[in-house]
Amino acid sequence: MWGDAHYSQKTVAYGFLPTEIAKDGLEVEIEVLGMRLKAKMYTETLFDPQAERMMG
């Protein structure tokens, strides 16, 4: 699954990686609709990581 995350100004894709290689900032290639694209793994939320907007 992938799409635009408007508040973070990024395109987001969900995928699976083996836990032994998964780390913040890991750069990989993913395939989307037959195209290979560069991707970077983020382990924290891209927008409002302290949930300040949600808490008011």
> For residue 50, is it within any domain?
no
Domain count, the chain: 1
pLDDT score at 7: 66
Of 15, 6, 16, 13, the C-alpha closest to 48 is 6
> For residue 16, is it within any domain?
yes
pLDDT score at 46: 76
Contact indicator for 47, 7 with CB cutoff of 8 Å: yes
Contact indicator for 41, 22 with CB cutoff of 8 Å: yes
> For residue 55, is it within any domain?
no
- The pTM score is 0.63
Say if residue 53's pLDDT is above 60. yes
Say if residue 6's pLDDT is above 80. no
pLDDT score at 12: 79
Whole-number Å distance between alpha carbons of 51 and 34: 36
Of 9, 28, 10, the C-alpha closest to 18 is 28
Q: Could you list the residue range(s) of the whole structural domain that residue 19 is in? A: 2-45
> For residue 24, is it within any domain?
yes
The per-residue pLDDT for range 10-48, each reduced to its tens digit, is: 777 888 889 999 999 999 999 988 999 999 998 887 777
